[in-house]
């Protein structure tokens, strides 16, 4: 009887600790992405004609401009595909540059071409040749791509925006290095 009483006390005493631990660890599974770099202080990344771009202005000549939200269904720290939606509630994804059928999943992807500077874009197929979609993870608030070595870069566009790019080579003398985070900038 004393053993059963002791087990009950231990069990009951651990419940508040478990509830406290769970309530203090917010796990956001839907979030926006922001670009940081030299003189780039947390610009929201959005889609313009099927490409992730960032900047202080709206693109003047883009046919289709949309916000996008990343939705992670698996582990945030393990490499995997990230679904993207033009709204936080997961509406249809016509923002990738071409209309797609309703309820079609769209993923963030790295174009894996022979080019030194490669595009970041969107795909409707996770396992499509020439695209890497199972490479995304978070390290705290930082977006990591599980391709080694690899860095994000910003390529200036003619309209005052920057296109999010990536490379496995050091191109820091040609393009600014970009850190992608899920944390918005802190206003100052």
Domains and CATH numbers, the chain: 28-181 (2.80.10)
Q: What pLDDT shows up at residue 72? A: 83
Contact between 39 and 156 (Cβ < 8 Å): no
Q: How confident is the model at residue 103 (pLDDT cuts 50, 70, 90)?
A: low
SS3 (DSSP) at 87: coil
pLDDT of 22 above 50:
no
What's the mean per-residue pLDDT of the chain? 79
Place of tokens 């949309």: 66
Q: How confident is the model at residue 106 (pLDDT cuts 50, 70, 90)?
A: confident
Q: What pLDDT shows up at residue 25? A: 39
Look up the pTM and report it. Answer: 0.78
Q: How confident is the model at residue 23 (pLDDT cuts 50, 70, 90)?
A: very low
Q: What pLDDT shows up at residue 171? A: 97
* CA–CA dist 82, 122 (Å, integer): 10
Q: What is the per-residue pLDDT across 135-185, written as a single tens digit (0 to 9) for each?
A: 999 998 999 999 999 999 999 988 889 999 999 999 999 999 999 999 999
Burial class (CB in 10 A: 0-12, 13-18, 19+), 110: buried
Share of residues in the chain with pLDDT > 70 (%)? 75
* CA–CA dist 87, 44 (Å, integer): 14
As given in the structure block, the two tokens for residue 72 are 């992670």
Place of tokens 């406290």: 20
Q: What is the per-residue pLDDT across 63-87, written as a single tens digit (0 to 9) for each?
A: 777 778 888 877 777 888 888 877 6
Parallel, antiparallel or unpaired: strands 107-111 and 65-66: unpaired
């Amino acid at each position: 009887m004393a053993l059963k009483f002791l087990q009950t006390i231990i069990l009951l005493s651990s419940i508040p600790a478990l509830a406290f631990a769970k309530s203090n660890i917010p796990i956001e599974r839907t979030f926006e992405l922001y670009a940081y770099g030299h003189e780039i202080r947390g610009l929201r990344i959005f889609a313009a004609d099927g490409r992730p771009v960032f900047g202080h202005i709206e693109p003047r000549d883009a046919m289709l401009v949309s916000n996008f939200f990343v939705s992670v269904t698996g582990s945030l720290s393990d490499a995997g595909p990230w679904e993207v939606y033009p709204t936080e509630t997961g509406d249809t994804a016509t923002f990738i540059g071409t209309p797609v059928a309703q309820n079609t999943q769209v993923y963030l992807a790295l174009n894996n071409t022979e080019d030194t500077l490669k595009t970041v874009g969107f795909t409707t197929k996770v396992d499509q040749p020439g695209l890497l979609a199972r490479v995304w993870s978070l390290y705290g608030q930082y977006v990591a791509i599980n391709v080694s070595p690899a860095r994000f870069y910003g390529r200036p566009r003619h309209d005052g925006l920057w296109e999010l790019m990536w490379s496995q080579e050091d191109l820091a003398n040609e393009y600014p290095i970009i850190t992608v985070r899920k944390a918005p900038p802190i206003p100052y």
